[in-house]
Amino acid sequence: MNRFFLNLQFLCFVALLGVGTTATATTVPFTENFSADTAQWLNFNGAAPLSFSATDGPDNSSYASGTFNFKDSIFGAQGPVVYRGTTSVLGQSSGGAFFGNWIADGAGKLTAQVRHNAPVPLTYFTRFAAPVNFPGATAVHFAPVLLNTWTEITVDISATNPQFVTFEGSDFATVFGNIGNLQIGVSIPQALAGVDQEISFDLDQVSISAVPEPGSLVLATLACCGVLGLRRRRVDG
């Protein structure tokens, strides 16, 4: 009987880890500028924080960075995660601002500035996952990021967004109803697979913005129609 209650307590503890480690609400809008430190964002294997740099960001600002060596990588295999925003009992990246129910909290778009020094262009992806890191949704940024060029990557948080290539057997509502991990990585290019070379990956201005309100969309549509109508009248005149 005592063993039964001990097992029950253990199961309850595990359940609490999976459910209670997200913030009560996602902060929308929010931008992580890494203005003072790396805000508890972690490296490729989650074993250490990213490195902090005070200058040379997109606006000559501060930024966070990590490294990865492709020597043990196989072309066509799952690419590495190079930045990890995570929530756990040990702490939360960005104070937990990115974690919670993105649907209920009105999260509409994720953007980030990324840079690398690989000798070839790299294709980035973003993975959104539950606090226990499963299930998750992966969105691919189809335009490759060039060498030593700060580039904005963007994901619209929508079930119909073609960037989402997998929900890992789950669905949009389940994944985005409980975000506890935010991971950005790259696909393994054939030119780097198995190559013993340390590549730097830089990150800044990770931002979450709100879904536009219906009224705002209507106003924007009317404004566009007005501009088009004005241009047409000028052409006709």
195: pLDDT strictly greater than 50: yes
pLDDT tens digits for range 93-142: 999 999 999 999 999 999 999 999 999 999 999 999 999 999 999 999 99
Q: Which residues are 110's β-sheet partners? A: 155, 208
pLDDT tens digits for range 52-87: 999 999 999 999 999 999 999 999 999 999 999 998
Average pLDDT over residues 189-201: 97
**Higher model confidence: residue 128 or residue 215?**
128
Q: How are beta strands 63-69 and 198-210 bridged, if at all?
A: antiparallel
| Mean pLDDT estimate for the chain | 86
Residue 116 contacts by C-beta under 8 Å, 6 or more apart in sequence? 122, 145, 147, 148, 186, 199, 200, 201, 202
Return the C-alpha torsion angle 92, 94, 99, 103, nearest 10: 180
User: Tokens in use for 236?
Assistant: 């006709």
Binning pLDDT at 50, 70 and 90, where does residue 235 land? very low
Judge whether 202 and 116 are in contact, CB under 8 Å: yes
Give the number of C-alpha atoms closer than 13 A to the C-alpha of residue 142, restricted to the C-beta side.
5
Give the separation between CA 145 and CA 163, rounded to whole angstroms: 16
Predicted pLDDT of residue 88: 75
Sign of CA dihedral 170, 175, 181, 186: positive
Helices (H), the chain: 2-20, 172-176, 214-236
24: pLDDT strictly greater than 90: no
Binning pLDDT at 50, 70 and 90, where does residue 214 land? low
| φ, ψ for residue 137, nearest 5 deg | -125, 130
User: Tokens in use for 104?
Assistant: 């209920």
Binning pLDDT at 50, 70 and 90, where does residue 6 land? very low
Q: Which residues are 98's β-sheet partners? A: none
Q: Which helix (H) or strand (E) holds 88?
A: strand 81-88
Distance of CA 33 to the CA centre of its chain: 14
Sorted by where each starts, the structural domains of the chain and their CATH numbers stand as: 25-221 (2.60.120.260)
Give the separation between CA 184 and CA 124, rounded to whole angstroms: 7
User: Tokens in use for 207?
Assistant: 């931002």
